[in-house]
Structure formats: C-alpha cells, structure tokens
Amino acid sequence: MSDLHRKSLRELREGLAAGSFTSVELVEHFLARIREHDQTLNTLITVSDKEALQQAGAADERIQKGEAGPLTGIPLIHKDIFCTRGVKTSCGSRMLDNFISPYDATVVERLADAGMVMLGKANMDEFAMGSSNETSYYGPVKNPWDTERVPGGSSGGSAAAVAARLAPAATGTDTGGSIRQPAALCGITGLKPSYGRVSRWGMIAFASSLDQAGPMARSAEDCALLLSAMAGFDERDSTCVDRPVDDYLAALERPVKGLRVGVVKEFFGEGLDSGVGASIEEAMKVLEGLGVELVEVSLPHSRYSVPAYYVVAPAEASSNLARYDGVRFGHRCDDPKDLEDLYKRSRAEGFGAEVKRRIMIGTYALSAGYYDAYYLKAQKVRQVIARDFRNAFEQADLLLGPASPEVAFRLGEKSDDPVSMYLSDIYTIAVNLAGLPALSMPAPRAHGLPVGLQLIGNYFDEGRLLNLAHQLQLATDWHLQTPEGFA
C-alpha cells in the first residue's frame, strides 16, 4: 500500500502538481482505507464515493489545465452538520435520517470551489450535543488509539477519521469544545475560529451564538491552508464579520521569540489528570526553549462558564430545534391522529435522550418567570467571562492550557452521568462564551493516549495561534504520531 495517507496537505499538493499521483488515485486510496477501517471505527455516516470520484476527476482536469489552487484535488470529510446538496445530511439524528439537503453550506461550497473532494460525512453527536460521540443515532465512533475508548465529541467522527488517516482533513464545528476536545482525545490539530470568522450558512444550528465551524487536520499548517479557504464574509450570515482574512500561511513563519503566552491558572487545578498536566508542562518547556515568555494569568470567573453555557446553549437549541416538527422534512411518525399527535410522536421518535434533555433544560430556562434568573443571568456571566479574557490579553499575546482535563475515556463510562460528561468541556467552553479563537494540538501522550494542548487567541488572531502551533510542531513530532494499525 502506498503512503499517500501519511502526507501533509502541502505534500499532497506538491505531489498532485508534479503529477506523482492524481486526485482520483488519492481519493481511491482513502476510500480503500475507509472500507478497510471504518467498519471498526464508524467515523462516517455517509461515504459519497461516486460523487468523490467525479469531483476528483474534475479536480485532475483543473490541475492539468494549471488552474489548481492549493487545495485542489485534496480529499476531506465534512461533519454531517454541514448541508451538502444531494447528499444525506443527518446531523447524527434519526430526525434527519431521511434528509437530503437541497443546498450546500457556505463552508462546503467554499472548499468545493477550492477544488477539495468530499469523501463523505462524518459521524457526530446528535445535533452536536455530546462530548463522546455516543449520542449519535448511527452509533458511537471508536477512538483509533484505543477502540474501547471514545474519540470525544461532538466532532468525534471528523477527529477519529483524521487520526486514523482515513482522510487528510475534515471540517468540524465547535459550540463548547466540539472541535478542540475530540482533536485532543484523538491527537490531531483542530481550530475553532473567532465567532463570525466562518459563515454559519448551511451549518445546522445547535446554539447560534456559540456555533463556529473550523478545520481539523494533522498539523497547524494544514489547518492554516483549510481556514484560508473557509474564512471570510458571507452576506447570508448576519453574524459573519465583514473583515479581511489574514494570510495564515505567511503568519506561520513569523518568529515566536519574545511572544508572551499566558498560562491560565484556573486550568491547572483540581480535576486535571496528573498525566495530562505533566504533558502540558512538557510542551510548555519546549515553548520556553523557543524563546516564548510564559506568564501566569487568571480567568477568575471561568468556573461559571459551564453553568452559564448549559443555560445559553440549551435555550438557543430548544428554539433552533423547534423546526423539526414532522411537517416539512425529516422524521414524521406513522398515522398521526391529529396535529398534537404528529408533533409529539415525530419529535419523541426523532430525537434521542440527550437532545430531549437539552430541549427541556432550554425550554425551562426561557419560560416566563425564569428567564431573568437563568437566561439573562447567563448572558451577564458571558460578559464577565469576556472581561476576564480582555484582562488576560493585556498581559499576554496568547493563552495556554489543556484542552481537556483527561485523556479519552472508555465508551459508556460517562453516558449515564451527564454532569460528569459536561465537565469534559470545562477548559473549552469559556472560549465559546467569549467568542474567541482557540486550537487544540497534540502534546506528549499520557497513559499512552493523546493529550491536547489548547492555545487561545485574541479576537481574529487566528494567525498568531497557527503561528505558535506551527513553530511548536516544527520543533516536535507529537503531531506526527499515528495510532497503531493506522500508520
């Protein structure tokens, strides 16, 4: 078997340009790997092999004509939260098991315009609600590092597929950590951009004020290439910011000596696995070796981020998911007696337990008499948390901490304990509440499993995040390690 799956995006581009292999060969190679491994891993809900080969053929033509961009002909996987025209878009839910989207999400459209080839749609927690990928209607995704363990969530299919080299890149979405936590648990690099950097058009909404799409790949450099194609203003999304996109590739090469990186005090306290803590500290030593100045910073209100998040996100979700009523698309129960029966049974059958739990929490939080105490209070907490970050960024250019308090946990270990599951995102959620960009990248493994180092940037400072991550990756090989059996 060839080693095409070991190549970085830059190497793939060079190979395609040089004619060493074609996009069709590349796609066939990855499709073969998917056939070989995905029975076990379950990273994909849909494999769109026919479409992929067609797109690859078109990409090869573009390459031959000399019209190729940096991503033309390179395959990727889209999280099944992105609408893809003519291809099932399930969002990991029975509710949308029959939904073929009539249109493409902006992210899908932009990456397709760049010439990327979609291999399929990645498994995910139902409606992106989960931290282990166990809430998917299509069954859990297995972590390629240990198939008894979860890949994290909700972008678990994307993370596991990239980690297992079933695709060189994937898209994910991050509402409370859904890119960074699975990236951490699967040992890949994943970036959640600033809120408003990437269009949400066509991305099925979970919590609209928090959701953001981002790239998931093996390295910061690969993420920089992907983000360059994904980011930018889109008039179809009113929350998308009309502001030029930085040159992320150029940013990668900037010197990092003298950069001040704030170590978030609160992210190293109780609840952090000691192995994970040691791994992060090892990464910090390497950073110091690169001339980075580490300073301690505090986010004193970060402990309120999980409770605030579990008011705001379910509240928005309870409203966003009201459209799944069995009337126009999606699951409809058999033989409804009347309108109420149609609503009740379609939704009872179409949604899983975690989604129902969050709809209930959100509906409660918005109810008359509770709105001020919950939703309004949670929004105020967001302001306070954002202020904490503003203060921290006065002392540091970037912030640092673990992405997750522990390594990948066992399947079923937390499924019956929602609160312990929610705490998996304790270090990632504050970033979403403030709307900041952040990434997770591999640090040295602990307990034989991947650990994610989280870097948090100031608003629209994705370039600097990728810069430091890239420089760290040039100096280490943590990101190049591959799970056994998938090398």
Q: Which residues bind another protein (CB under 8 A)?
A: 82-83, 89, 91, 96, 99, 101-103, 105, 200-205, 207-209, 235-239, 315-316, 318-319, 321-323, 325, 327-329, 339, 343, 363, 366-368, 371, 375
Please tell me the distance from the alpha carbon of residue 140 to that of residue 367, in angstroms, as a whole number: 33
Please tell me the distance from the alpha carbon of residue 21 to that of residue 235, in angstroms, as a whole number: 38
Which residue type does 322 have? A
Tell me, what DSSP letter sits at residue 204?
P
Of residues 81 and 166, the one with the C-beta less far from another protein: 81
Of residues 93 and 219, the one with the C-beta less far from another protein: 93
Of residues 62 and 85, the one with the C-beta less far from another protein: 85
Backbone angles phi, psi at 157, to 5 degrees: -65, -45
Q: Which one of the listed residues 8, 132, 136, 154 is annotated catalytic?
A: 154
Is residue 318 annotated as a catalytic residue, yes or no? no
Question: Nearest approach, Cβ of 388 to another protein (angstroms)?
Answer: 22
Q: Which one of the listed residues 7, 23, 48, 79 is annotated catalytic?
A: 79
Please tell me the distance from the alpha carbon of residue 133 to that of residue 143, in angstroms, as a whole number: 10
Of residues 83 and 263, the one with the C-beta less far from another protein: 83
Of residues 35 and 236, the one with the C-beta less far from another protein: 236
Is residue 121 annotated as a catalytic residue, yes or no? no
Q: Cα separations (Å) of 18 from 113, 199, 263?
A: 21, 33, 44
> What's the token pair of residue 170?
């994937």
Question: Nearest approach, Cβ of 125 to another protein (angstroms)?
Answer: 16
Question: Nearest approach, Cβ of 315 to another protein (angstroms)?
Answer: 6
Beta-bridge partners for 455: 400, 439
**Mapping DSSP to helix (H, G, I), strand (E, B) and coil, where does residue 394 land?**
helix
Is residue 79 annotated as a catalytic residue, yes or no? yes
Question: Nearest approach, Cβ of 49 to another protein (angstroms)?
Answer: 24
Please tell me the distance from the alpha carbon of residue 180 to that of residue 176, in angstroms, as a whole number: 9
Q: Which one of the listed residues 8, 48, 158, 178 is annotated catalytic?
A: 178
Q: Cα separations (Å) of 403 from 28, 168, 188, 296, 425?
A: 34, 22, 12, 17, 8
> What's the token pair of residue 43?
């990273």
Question: Nearest approach, Cβ of 83 to another protein (angstroms)?
Answer: 5
Active site residues: 79, 154, 178
